[in-house]
């Protein structure tokens, strides 16, 4: 096994990379691409292809919308590494010649206000609304350098890059998410939903600690978190013989924000259920969509002025035995490169909207979440 930063040095355009605090996976090539929309057919076909091949894993991504096709690949090769090495040399990623917010800050605040009206009327319990920044870059983006920066900043989370289907050019989703959707190891399945966030204060350690404590005590954020935990437990329960759901959330942090976190552990009834099938059953959780799911999806489609694509989807891997790990596709950007054109990077950031949400605070929260990618790119943008 090489170390994680060594593995990142081997990253090439079109590769798949997923790092965690325990290990990292780099895969390349496309022996088979599976895009079945039905979860059972998707999981069954991927398992059969793995059993019939000498490739140890399938890798890929699930889109946010359930009517869009997933992109799961049986690669030509796959390499594992050990745990993430701390630190790492930072490299500049380049500059942006233009920045286009969609929607604007004011437009996003208006969307949040519209959602709050519906929430208070009882139309839904929670909805997650996102906004984006489209950066036109001055020069080609070195994804490997960006990944190394993200790993250095987010050693306790999950850094990823996944090639996406496109008719022209190349699309790559790259990010550093704090949230594991689920992992499966033998009969044990673990999910770790995050919901409820507050920006960190790196200028004042005492204020930063106070912000975390305030989040842990916040009734609004605990309600938001409870909605997600209940939904994840409900989705897992039919697959599990036992399920342990802690009564209280814990506090975790990234470089940008504090989060409420709950680690849910279950024992599977049937080890024939793969991690990919379980990921399809859980995705999307209320952490990225809302609840009830159908009403939340409709609200998102109406109020967000862009197609999420694979943002807020799931990224991960699965082996022939069904073991695997899938993470939530947030704190990310989609890089698009086409011949003869400047590359673009579209950054995404979302917030869970509840009846007690205040539009200005949700704008602040989403601005803070953009910083994961902006810091990794070495860019400082005024988002106020």
Q: Which residues are catalytic?
A: 126, 179
Alpha helices in the chain (DSSP H): 4-9, 39-51, 105-120, 143-153, 205-217, 219-236, 275-282, 293-303, 359-377
Compute the distance between CA of residue 344 and CA of residue 169 in angstroms, rounded to an integer: 12
Compute the distance between CA of residue 107 and CA of residue 140 in angstroms, rounded to an integer: 31
Angstrom distances, CA of residue 111 to CA of 116, 300, 311, 332, 368:
9, 10, 19, 21, 18
With H, G, I as helix, E, B as strand and everything else as coil, classify residue 354: coil
Compute the distance between CA of residue 345 and CA of residue 219 in angstroms, rounded to an integer: 36
Tokens in use for 253?
A: 């942090």
Find out whether 251 and 218 touch, Cβ atoms under 8 Å: no
DSSP H or E stretch at residue 189: strand 188-191
Residue 35 has what DSSP assignment? -
Angstrom distances, CA of residue 29 to CA of 33, 49, 54, 59, 324:
10, 15, 14, 11, 19
Find out whether 219 and 211 touch, Cβ atoms under 8 Å: no
The owner of tokens 């991690």 is: 275
List Cβ neighbours of 213 (8 Å cut-off, separation of 6 or more): none
């Amino acid at each position: 096994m090489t170390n994680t930063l060594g593995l990142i040095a081997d990253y090439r355009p079109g590769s798949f990379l997923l790092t965690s605090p325990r290990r990292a996976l780099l895969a390349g090539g496309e022996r088979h691409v599976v895009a079945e929309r039905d979860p059972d057919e998707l999981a069954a076909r991927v398992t059969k292809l793995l059993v019939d091949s000498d490739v140890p894993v399938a890798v890929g991504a699930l889109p946010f919308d359930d009517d869009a096709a997933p992109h799961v690949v049986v690669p030509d090769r796959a390499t594992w590494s050990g745990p993430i090495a701390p630190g790492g040399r930072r490299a500049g990623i380049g500059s942006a010649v233009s920045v286009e917010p969609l929607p604007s800050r004011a437009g996003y605040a208006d969307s949040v206000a519209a959602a709050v009206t519906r929430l208070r009327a009882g139309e839904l319990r929670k909805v997650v609304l996102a906004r984006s920044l489209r950066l036109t870059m001055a020069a080609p983006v070195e994804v490997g350098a960006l990944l190394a920066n993200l790993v250095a900043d987010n050693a306790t989370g999950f850094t990823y890059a996944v090639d996406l289907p496109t008719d022209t050019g190349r699309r790559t989703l790259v990010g550093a998410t704090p949230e594991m959707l689920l992992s499966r190891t033998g009969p044990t399945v673990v999910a770790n939903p995050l919901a409820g966030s507050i920006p960190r204060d790196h200028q004042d350690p005492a204020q930063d600690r106070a912000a975390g404590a305030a989040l842990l005590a916040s009734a609004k954020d605990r309600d938001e978190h409870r909605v997600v935990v209940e939904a994840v437990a409900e989705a897992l329960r039919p697959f599990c013989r036992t399920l342990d759901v802690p009564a209280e959330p814990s506090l975790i942090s990234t470089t940008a924000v504090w989060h409420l976190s709950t680690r849910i552990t279950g024992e599977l009834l049937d080890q024939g259920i793969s991690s990919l099938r379980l990921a399809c059953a859980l995705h999307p959780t209320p952490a990225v969509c809302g609840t009830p799911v159908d009403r939340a999806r409709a609200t998102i489609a109406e109020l967000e002025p862009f197609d999420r694509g694979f943002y807020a989807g799931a990224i991960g891997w699965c082996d022939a035995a069904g073991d695997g790990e899938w993470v939530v596709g947030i704190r990310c950007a989609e890089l698009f490169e086409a011949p003869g054109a400047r590359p673009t990077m579209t950054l995404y950031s979302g917030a869970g909207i509840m009846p007690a949400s205040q539009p200005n605070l949700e704008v602040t929260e989403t601005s803070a979440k953009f910083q994961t990618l902006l810091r990794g790119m070495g860019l400082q943008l005024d988002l106020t």
